Structure 1
Amino acid sequence: MAKVFSLIGRLSNFYLHNKLLFSSGVHTVQNMYGCDWDDETGATNGFDQYGFDGEDFLALHLKELRWVSPVQQGSLTQQKWNDDKAQLEFYKQYYENQCIEWLKKYLQYGKSSLEKTVSPQVSLLQKSSSSSVLCHATGFYPSGVTISWMKNGQDHYENVDLGEPLPNEDGTFQKTSTLKVTPDEWKNNEFSCVVEHQGKTITEILKDDSVPIGIIVAVVVAVLLVVSGVVGFVVYRKKKGFKPVPQEQSDDGSNKS
């Protein structure tokens, strides 16, 4: 599949000496310029556009190698710039060669990021059997992802709240979708969350034996309590002066209990 890449520059709120011909006073001039490259066909194009006080003023037609103004006020500048053949030739060489070279260099520098694809990890979470069900997709890159719900194999849109993509600390993204459904409804029907990312589809089915978040948190707390108890006992032994019981050694070097 062909991809068109662009290198764009923007300038605004500046005065171009002997460049734009306009009346005296304070004005805002905006300039957007850059080039495009199609990685499949190799086709290139350049663009250079000016805005004056928030409206289109001048644009370079690279193939025709001339400036065009959509407003009468730009006719003088258009004529002056079109008469400068050396400057037009400079633009032609820049947009057809130098700009494209820089664009390809930037693409090479950022290739690892542009082409990186990481599939999401999908989980169904629920605080209790009577609360909403959260479909959580995380750890994916790039950020474009689609999360939808299905009921008994059919698309389901009712009582669905879709969140926005959020960044993770490692550069990946996460996104959630919440489904409001009663316990009887999800026990008597099959609901599933469908996550689509970069051509890959992941489906998680809401089952009757789904583990609610509350239980997960309780298990984690219990494990922490056990670890704390072990650490506390070790500290207690050291404070009380407990030491390992020395073992006697037999003549052949083996330990005796």
Structure 2
Amino acid sequence: TVCGIVIVISITLTINATHSLRYVYSGTSGIPDFPEFVAVGLVDEEQFVYYDSRNHRMVPRVEWMEKSEGKDYWDRETRKHIGWEQVFKNNIEVAKKRFNQTGGIHTVQQMYGCEWDDDTGTTGAHCQFSYDGEDFITMDFKTMSWVAPVRQALTTTLKWNSDKAYIESARNYFSQECIQWLKKYLDYGKETLQRKARPEVSLLQKDSSSSAVSCYATGFFPKSIVINWQKDGKEIHDDVETTELLPSGDGTFQIRSILRVSPEDLKNHQFSCVVEHVSLDEKIDKPWSDNVIVMAHNTVNLCLHKQVSE
């Protein structure tokens, strides 16, 4: 790779046909019975390769990857990550000195990758580092330079920014090589990664006196989706809570948006849940009406609990 330590990943839900290739490396110290180094590769946020310091072997996590690459690929990736395992052990020791630390539990992470919009052809990239969960170094791709949010990283940024060959290598990797690998992996797993499943949308209320109405979107793929509430045809954001996107257990996803609204408002105004997804030719506009099934909210929760507990 061409960058080196990870940050918390924040994903914004959209409906653009954007694909991503992302690698997450984690080096740890002071944690018993836990690998000192773990590397995970993700295509469209789905894990497809894995390596750790216990097994010392890069392995496929999905069938399409296992079928598509041969022994040379896995041997090459294994050798590369054995090398990165040693780098990360050293990174932790260097970071501990920078922060005047000795023992304890510490984590050095790296996250890097690229994005490609197959509708517009636009691309993007990210390369970020963290130490003990806090931002350490980030690549600014507009200026092609490293930025240090903490003074302990200044020495590293000065060194990396003065290495013009390293900067050019990073530029080439993120603008070309990473995109080429992303397209290759998408082709390998096109039957699963590029499939489209329409969301099913339902409106539910616990009982007629409840001050909350839920909009469920279930069974959709890919995971990017937009779900909004409208009041009398105008989009509203106040008193709306959207839950975390969750897997359904069958390769699709589900999400819920909760509208806090009084029974009086529900009677006097027209509310609807609007869902946008890449599988749809047009938005799903689901209006609220008095004949929506009451108490179904509990039934859905029981079903979700059953999937988790099995």
Q: TM-score, normalised by structure 1?
A: 0.50
* Greater RCO, 1 or 2 (C-alpha within 8 Å, sep 6+): 2
